[in-house]
Structure formats: C-alpha cells, structure tokens
C-alpha cells in the first residue's frame, strides 16, 4: 500500500517568518531564509522540518538533532549543531504550537470529512423542522432530530446523532458516531468520535420492586471552546444541569456524572471518573484515572496526581495524590515511609541487620 | 439561542394529590390545593416546584429553601419556611422519585426520538427476514440484522445496530449508536448510547504463532428491567453465556468480561471492571472504578468501596475496600495506621518529638 | 421467544480426529469413534461435547464431568469418569482452542453480518474515489471516505466509519459503530464495536487564551494480526505515529495516547491507560486497569499486575505491581508488612497483646 498523507502544510514560511510569528529571536541571522516545509518531534526531524527543544529531555536530544530549524531556550542555543536555524524563545513548546497551528489550520478545527463544500449530505437524515444554518455540514449517515439547531460552520461527522431540540453552536465539530441528547453545545467546541453527551445519569432509589429509576430530566451545557475526547460520557443533569465551562479540555474515556459543574480552562486526562454533583473550579488539572466521590468540591487551580481517589474536598491551589487522596507531600511521605520500613525489615531477615 | 425544553410534566397535581400518591402526610392542611408544576433539587427550587430534603445535607438547605412544596422527614418539617406545603414521609427521596415518574413518565422509559408514531423509519435498514412486532420503533439510520426479533413497544434509536438473530424484548430501549451482537435482551431494558453488548471476550492462548484467538461462541443474556450505561461493554460468553440478572443497574464505561454472571438488583457504578467468569450475587453494590479479578465470587448483598481492587472472594453481606481489597474495617485501620506513623515521624523530624 | 443459535460447528469430527489434529494421544482407544458435535466449558458439558481440564480447577471438576470427550494433562487422565473419550496433551487449553477454531472458523474472523455474499451494500455510503477491492464487504449504514482503501476479504460492519485516505488491510474486520481516522490498518486485524482509532491526542499548551490546542497531525499504524477491544481508543500521533505491533491483543475500554509505540504479541487487558509517548516492548502483559505515565518505557517480556500505576521505567522481563508500581516482590512485602502491623496493633488494643 502507498503512503497516504493525512495533513499537508497549507503554506511555506522561512525562519525569519517563524521568528516574527512567535516572537522568537533568530540566533544565527544567516539562517533567516531557511525554508520550513514541515514540523516534527525533536527525535524524528529531517530536512525542511521545524522542531522544538526544552528542558533536560531537549538537552539530551541536542547532539543527534536533525532538522532545518529549532525553537529552543537560550541555554540550549549554543549547543545546537551547525547548519540549523536557531530560534530562541522562553517557551519553545508554546511557540511551536503556534507555528503548527499556522501551518496546519485544519488540524485545530476538524473540518468536513467527505465534502469539499459545506451543506447537508443527501445521505444524512435531517428532521424536517431542524434548523441548519447555512455553512454547516451534515455528513453521510449523520442524524439530526426534530427541533435541533446546528450553527454555521459546524460539522456533524458521519453517523453522529444530534437528538431532538439539541443545539450545536457555530464552528463546532461533532465526531463520527458521537451522540448528543438533551444538550446545548457552544461555539468552537470539538467533540471527538463516540463521545456520549446527555445520556441518563445513574439515579435509582430502593423500592419494593428493587431499584427504581429516578427520572433524569436535566440538561448538559457545554460552553465555548471545550474539547471532549473519544468515547467520553457526560450525563445529563438529574434535575438541574451538568455544566462544562469555557475552554475546558477533556481527554478520552472520561466519565462525568449528573449535575457535575466544571469551571473554565480545566485539563482532565483520560479515564478520569467524576461522580454526581461534584463541583470543580477553574484551571483545575486532573491526572489520568483520577476518581472523585459524589458531592465533593475541588477548588480552582487544584491539581490531582494520576490515579488519585478523592474522598474529601480539595482547597483551591493544592496538589493532592494517593487513594484515599491527601496533600501530595503527605502522600509521598507515606509511600517513602512504608518503602523504607519494608526494606529495613527485608535487610534484617537476610541477616544484614 | 433560545432555551429549549427537553421535558415538560405531562400533568399537573396539587399537594394533596402528592400526599396521596406517595403516602406522605400533609403537615399544613391549608396547603392542600397548592399546585405542583415542576420538580427541582432542593438548592435550585422555585415557584411551582416540588423538592425533597433529608439528612444533614437537607437540614443545611432549609433556611434558603425556595419551592412551593417539600417532601421531608418529620424532624425537618418544623423548620420548613412558611408558605411552603410540607409533605412528611420517612423516605423523601423515594417519594420524590415516585412523583417524578408520575409527572415525567417519558423520562423513565426513553421513547421514540424522531417519530410521533411507532413504526419503521424509511431511513432504517431492516433485514427482510427480521421480525419487528407491531408497535416497535426503528429510527433513522438504525440497522436490524437477519433473523433478529424486536418486541412491541421497543425503540431502536438512530444508528443503533441489532446483530443477526439477536432478540430485543418488549418496551426495551436501545440508545443511539449502541450495538448488540449474540444477545438476548429482555423486556423493559434500557441500553444507553454507545453500549457494546456481545463483542468477543479477551480469550487467547500462547502458541507457536504468538497469541492465538480462542473462539468466542457464547451469548449475552440480559434479563428484564436491566439498565446499562453509555459506552459500557459486556462481552459474549466464551463457550457459555454472560448473564445480567433482573433489575440490575449498570452505569457508564463499565467493562464486563466473558462468562460473568451477575444476579438481581445489583448497582454497579461507572468505570467498574469485572474480569472473566466472575460470579456476583443479588443486591450487590460496586462503587465507581472497582476492579474484580477473574473467576472470583462476590456474595449477595456485599458492597465494595469505590476504587477497590478485588483479588479474593467476598462473602455475602460484607463490605470491602482498598487495593488489594480487604474487609472495610481492616482497610480503614491500615490507612489510619500509616497516616499516623507518617505524621509522627514528620513531627519528630521537625524537632517537636 | 425461541432460542437462537449464533454459531453452529461447520463440521463433525470424532475423537481420533481430535487427537490427530492437536497431537493428543487417545487414552482409551475404544473411544476413537466418539463423535464430537460441540464444545463447552468443563462445568457445562453435555452429550456430544468436547471439554478441557487442567490444573487444580480442572481436578476439582473431574468428579462431576459430563461430556463425551475431554482434553486433559496426563496426571488427570486416570480420574476421568468412564465412558468419556480421554485425550492426553501437555497443553489442554491450547489444544482445545485449536479444535474450537477448526469447528467454528467463523468465530475467529468475524464475517459479514448481513450478506451471504461479499460486496458493497446499497445502504452503505462509499465515496466515489474510495478503492474497495473485490471480495470486501461494506455493510448497511457503513461510511467509507474519499481516498480510502479497503482490502479483499475485509468486512466493514454496519455504521462503521472509515475516514478519508485511511487504509484497511485484507481480511480485516471493523466492527459496528467503530471509526477509523488517520490510520493504516494491516491484514487480519479485528477491531471490535465502537473502537476509536485515530482521534486527536490530548495536546495543549498554556497560552494567553487559556489552553491552546497543539495540532495533532500524526497517524496510527496498526500492524497485522492485532485485535482491538470494544470502545477502546487509540489516538493518532501528535507529529509522528502511534504504532501497535504485529499480533498484539488489546481488550475493551483501553486508552492509548498519542505517539505510543507497542511491540509484538503484547496482551493488554481491559481499561488499561497508556499515556503519550510510552514505549512498550514485545510480549509485554498488562493486567486490567494498569495506568502508565507519559514517556515511560516498559521492556520486552515485562508483566504489570492489575491495577498498577506506573511512574518509572520497567526493565525487560520484570514483574511489577502496586501504585506507585514497584517490583512485585517489594510490593507484596509492603502489603503484608502493613497488614501485619495493623493486625498486631488491633490485637494489642483489644488487650490480647
């Protein structure tokens, strides 16, 4: 099989333009005209590529660096091999991302899959009273329910399902096979393949007939600029709303229970589980596989280490870890205490004590 | 964008009718005629709303309560602000759920998404020899395979897939994008969006050619009144059947391996993982993210705390927690012992000991 | 409802043929002509069934064994009840799998769901410039994007989506509702229902506007003979490729981050989470719910116990467990030390010390 290209840069730029775009300074001015035709990670660069380097990892890659231009911090610049354009900036990764978005604008906002032009595919199923703004794209096999509204520039990918009366904002992408129920989705939102927005929450009471269902009649509100990972599930509110704040990014296979409220610009890694009615502030970072018990509060700016199991509220700005989770310092102290005791005991048993 | 309504109550009732329906007693008889037009959580109530209060959480919400009627326990009744109909009952949440089901019957049994009337959508793909009972609904983009049987009152949502020879019982709902293979599904079952019933289990043997597949030829049996969460996966049996018992409720992103047998009325929270051939009794409760090793047995009425990692059988009625899991009391004792030792050591280091 | 049959054996064989096929020796030569019409697990066998027994579990099942033939190790053979054909082999499960594949060849390579003959369903949506080899099957509701290539013998199940320019190899199965983006898939690969191959990785940098997206422009490479579980997610590379090596088997609900490279013949159990840029060798075994931090390396032949949380590299061939994970022996030592201390303290408190 031949090698397909999934993305090509839409424009070519030279090193001087890179410097101008991201505010870097060109370390070797004779390289101003070096042409950039692609981007790569620092261990996989080649001719025409721009790469970035920072920190200890970056320093380690310096000797073998192969690329035509590199974004790096000032301390690394002197060690860049000759013949590579050096672009000095305090935040190489951020500058690199900016250039990447400049060269590959389509990769930041998934576009139509099947049509060169926007519009409703003849193979899509759109209810007669759905409102699809001009400039929206509904792809083959997608389903848009009665009363739904789809904003201009939105893309509903193949086999995605938009439920009755749901609203999808402008320039929002709903990935293949994803489904939206009982939800209002803002502008510039990216919802990846297979995500499930607005299914019923897990609400039951014990009754004579066993577990009886508590009707789930609330909604999901997804604010602007949110990104939601593949196969992630966000339940509708039981009575009120489940809310995901502006600019929050959620990875794959995350579970968000009913009535959860998450603030702005949070980063939530894969396989996190957030129980019902949890309240999370702004700029919170949750590592992979964190679990949070119901009705808990996580203050703004708090960070939870991967794998934490939260059973108490976390104050703003604190870093916690472990299961049951506790402040990072205490957790690491316990880990190291137990390790030390076990090693000492093992030494004694072996007659070295 | 305007504010869509996803559910409206199908009927109006007054406080006296609420009392009669759920067996509560009206604390202030002059409120008998207060009209209930909606339901809300106790912290978000407003005019026309019925809310419920119980326990310490409920007591804390009393002073600011805004609603027209409240279901609460006898101890809280005297403190309900004036002007609110007081409905006293020993189990407020259960009574509230009953009233909610009365007002929003559609929310307990997901109905057709796209059609006011039942029937097979012209945009559905139904095999010529599938048997669809009159009164079933097959929505746009849904696929029903050869030899499949769909019961009266069942709803197959858009883009759901029912595999060859599968049976879906009466009044059962299969959500958008869900897929059913090698399975018999009972009556009044709710399968949420993206759930995967009957994919192959994880069965391999080491052979000359690496890992060789063990054919997975068993089935999945889902009994009546089961609910299965979004993107949950339940594998078909390797040789025999995987069985989910009557009335058991399963949350989102749960994994259930091949040949697992689960009893009646269990509650299984999100992201639980149950390995192959595990046997679980009746009325078992598994907290979020519990993991259970293969071939283990969990006795009826047992409860596992969120995040537990089970490596041994759990006797009926016991409560276990931790990883590796152990009886709750022992686990909490270990957590507290280690915490105490680490704190003492830290105090000594800081010269306070 | 009647009882549907999802798989029937395609041929009948007798005990002598079983022995010949898998290299077992027939313990009771008078049973050579016993006809095998089905297979079952050792606790559920019946007339006509072949079962297998090994180890302590197998010995326990011997007294009640009901079947017409049994594959077992030499030590168990004398205790097999009279009237059952005894087939002695050092690896009963492996031999059983071989016979199962012989009787149920369709169960090792999922075939067309809806069509007796291969071809493109009139209800499928295939882009005009997609290349579908003769002998491939595209089922109802499936979507194949522009420039995609589908190999001979491949089956694209109902509502599966193959993205633009993706390649699906020969005799590969893509399950119902699965979606493929930015990916090259090899031959004889099995991708189960709802799996998400090639969605964007979780890449963001902090900028003035909050979290800014790092374009994800890499690919996913799935080599031959890989199996991928239901609702599993494998992200495309950020810049380079995410690679799954030949013969590796992945269970349900697994998350594999961008730029992860996994070797040959690994076994990865359900709900495992592998962070970005992790490198995993060959023949690695990851138990259920293992979590691996980003940029870590797991050497060939290493094994991680279920629930492990990895924060450091694991050398080739080692067995690790716990969270944070450490060599198995050290982990178990810590578990037992803490358990012993807690029990001793409890005894003392109760006045028994």
Is A209–B107 a contact, with Cβ atoms under 8 angstroms apart?
no
Q: Give the per-residue pLDDT at A9.
A: 80
Q: For B163, which of C104, C113, C342 is closest by C-beta distance?
A: C113
- C-beta neighbour count of A78 within 10 angstroms: 9
Of B211, B259, B295, the CB nearest to C247: B211
Mutation to test the B interface, candidates A143, A232, A326, most B Cβ within 10 Å = A143
Residue C119 backbone zone (phi > 0: left; psi -120 to 50: alpha; other: beta): left
Q: Under 8 Å CB-to-CB from B352, ≥6 apart: which residues?
A: none
Mean of pLDDT over chain C: 93
Q: How do residues B249-275 score in pLDDT, each as one tens digit?
A: 999 999 999 999 999 999 999 999 999
Between C163, C239, C324, which is nearest A39 by CB?
A: C239
User: Which of B125, B192, B258, B312 is an active site residue?
Assistant: B258
**pLDDT band at residue A269 using 50, 70 and 90 as cut-offs:** very high
Between CA C177 and CA C187, with CA C181 as vertex, the angle to 5 degrees is 80
Q: Give the three-state DSSP class for B344.
A: helix
Closest-CA distance, C265 to chain B, in angstroms, reads 6
Q: String of b and e for C189-228 (b: at least 16 CB within 10 Å)?
A: bbbbbbbbbbbbbbbbeeeeebbbbbbbbbbbbbbbbbbb
What is the Cα–Cα distance from A248 to A254, expressed in whole angstroms?
Answer: 13
Q: Of C195, C153, C143, C150, which is closest to residue C168 (Cα–Cα)?
A: C150
A60-91 confidence digits (pLDDT tens) = 999 999 999 999 999 999 999 999 999 999 99
In whole angstroms, what is the distance from residue C265 CA to residue A16 CA? 47
Segment B42-71 mean pLDDT: 92
**Tens digits of per-residue pLDDT, B176-216?**
999 999 999 999 999 999 999 999 999 999 888 889 999 99
Question: What pLDDT sits at residue B9?
Answer: 80
Contact C7 B338 (CB under 8 A): no
Q: Compute the average pLDDT of residues B338-343.
A: 94
**In this predicted structure, what is the pLDDT of residue A318?**
98
Pairing of β B326-327 and β B319-321:
antiparallel
Instruction: Identify whether the C-beta of residue B193 lies closer than 8 Å to the C-beta of residue B178.
Output: yes
Estimate to the nearest angstrom the gap between the alpha carbon of C144 and the chain centroid: 26
Arithmetic mean of pLDDT, C132-157? 96
**pLDDT surpassing 80 at residue B5:** no
Residues B175, A178: Cα–Cα separation, whole Å: 12
**Residue count of chain A:** 353
User: A125 to chain C: nearest residue by CA?
Assistant: C141
Q: Name the percent of chain A lying above pLDDT 70.
A: 97
Q: Do C215 and A100 touch (CB under 8 A)?
A: yes
pLDDT band at C350 (very low <50, low <70, confident <90, very high): confident
**Can you read off the two tokens belonging to residue C128?**
């005009």
pLDDT for the residue A305:
98
Q: Which residues of C touch B167 (CB under 8 A)?
A: 1, 4
* Rounded average pLDDT over B6-19: 88
Q: What confidence category does residue C352 fall into, taking pLDDT thresholds of 50, 70 and 90? A: low
* Distance (Å, whole) CA A102 – CA A13: 10
Judged by DSSP in three states, C155 sits in: strand
- pLDDT-based confidence at C209, cuts 50/70/90? confident
Q: Which positions in chain C touch B235 (Cβ < 8 Å)?
A: 230, 252
Average pLDDT, chain B: 93
Residue of B nearest to A325 (CA): B335
Start-end of H helices in chain A: 15-22, 55-61, 92-103, 328-349
Min Cα separation A182/chain B (Å):
6
Find where tokens 């689960």 sit. B262
Confidence of residue A1 (pLDDT cuts 50, 70, 90): very low
**Residues of chain A with C-beta less than 8 angstroms from the C-beta of B194:** 177, 179, 194, 196, 231, 233
B40:A217 CB<8 A = no
pLDDT tens sequence across C296-326: 999 999 999 999 999 999 999 999 999 999 9
C94 pLDDT tier (thresholds 50, 70, 90): very high
pLDDT-based confidence at C207, cuts 50/70/90? confident
What predicted TM-score, i.e. pTM, was given to this entire model? 0.95
Task: Give chain A's mean pLDDT.
Answer: 93
pLDDT of amino acid A221: 98
Between A and B, how many CB-CB pairs are < 8 A? Answer: 203
Q: Which residue has the tokens 């020969």?
A: C170
Q: What does each C-alpha distance from B53 to A294, B91, B115, B350, C125 come to in angstroms?
A: 17, 10, 38, 47, 53
pLDDT at A116: 65
The predicted model gives A276-304 an average pLDDT of: 97
C-alpha distances (whole Å) from B292 to each of A50, B245, B280, C22, C167 are 47, 18, 10, 34, 37
> Which other chains touch chain A, taking contact as 3+ CB pairs less than 8 Å apart?
B, C
| C93, C123, C271 member nearest B125 (Cβ) | C123
| Domain annotation for chain B: domains and CATH numbers | 13-107 (3.40.1390.10), 119-329 (2.160.10.10)
pLDDT at residue C10, rounded to an integer: 79
What pLDDT, on the 0 to 100 scale, is given for residue B1?
42
Residue A117: pLDDT band (50, 70, 90) is confident
Q: Does residue B114 carry a pLDDT above 80? A: no
Contact call for residues A245 and A224 (beta carbons, < 8 A): no
* pLDDT top residue among A71 and A6: A71
B258 is catalytic: yes
Higher pLDDT, C10 or B172: B172
CB contact under 8 A, C108 and B337: no
Q: What percent of chain B has pLDDT over 90?
A: 84
**CA B219/CA C4 separation, integer angstroms:** 10
Residues in chain B: 353
Length of chain C equals 353
SS3 (DSSP) at B96: helix
What pLDDT sits at residue B208?
80
Please tell me the distance from the alpha carbon of residue B305 to that of residue B287, in angstroms, as a whole number: 5
Tell me the CB-side half-sphere exposure of residue C128, using CA atoms within 13 A. 1
Q: What is the pLDDT of residues A161-177, one digit of tens each?
A: 999 999 999 999 999 99
């Amino acid at each position: 099989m031949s090698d397909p290209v999934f993305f090509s840069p839409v424009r070519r730029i030279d090193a001087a333009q890179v410097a101008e775009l991201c505010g870097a300074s060109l370390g070797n001015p004779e390289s101003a005209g070096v042409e950039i035709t692609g981007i790569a990670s620092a261990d996989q660069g080649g001719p025409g590529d721009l790469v970035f380097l920072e920190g200890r990892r970056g320093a380690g890659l310096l000797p073998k660096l192969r690329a035509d231009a590199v974004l790096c911090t000032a301390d690394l610049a002197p060690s860049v091999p000759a013949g590579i354009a050096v672009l000095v900036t305090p935040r190489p990764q951020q500058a690199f991302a900016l250039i990447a978005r400049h060269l590959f604008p389509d990769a930041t906002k998934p576009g139509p899959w099947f049509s060169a032009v926007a519009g409703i595919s003849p193979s899509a199923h759109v209810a007669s009273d759905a409102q699809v703004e001009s400039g929206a794209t509904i792809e083959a096999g997608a389903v848009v329910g009665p009363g739904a509204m789809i904003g201009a520039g939105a893309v509903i990918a193949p086999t995605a399902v938009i439920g009755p009366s749901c609203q999808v904002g402008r320039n929002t992408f709903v990935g293949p096979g994803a489904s939206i129920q009982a939800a209002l989705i803002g502008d510039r939102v990216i919802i990846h393949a297979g995500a499930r927005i607005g299914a019923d929450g897990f609400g039951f009471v014990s009754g004579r007939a066993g577990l009886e269902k508590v009707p789930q009649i609330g909604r999901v509100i997804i604010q602007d600029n949110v990104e939601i990972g593949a196969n992630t599930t966000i339940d509708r509110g039981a009575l009120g709303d489940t809310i995901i704040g502006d600019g929050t990014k959620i990875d794959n296979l995350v579970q968000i229970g009913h009535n959860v409220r998450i603030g702005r610009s949070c980063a939530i890694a894969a396989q996190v589980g957030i129980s019902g009615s949890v309240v999370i502030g702004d700029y919170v970072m949750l590592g992979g596989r964190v679990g949070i018990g119901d009705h808990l509060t996580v203050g703004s700016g708090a960070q939870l280490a991967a794998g934490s199991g939260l059973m108490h509220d976390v104050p703003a700005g604190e870093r916690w870890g472990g299961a049951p989770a506790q402040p990072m310092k205490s957790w690491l102290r316990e880990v190291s205490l137990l390790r030390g005791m076990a090693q000492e005991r093992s030494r004694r048993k072996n007659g070295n004590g």
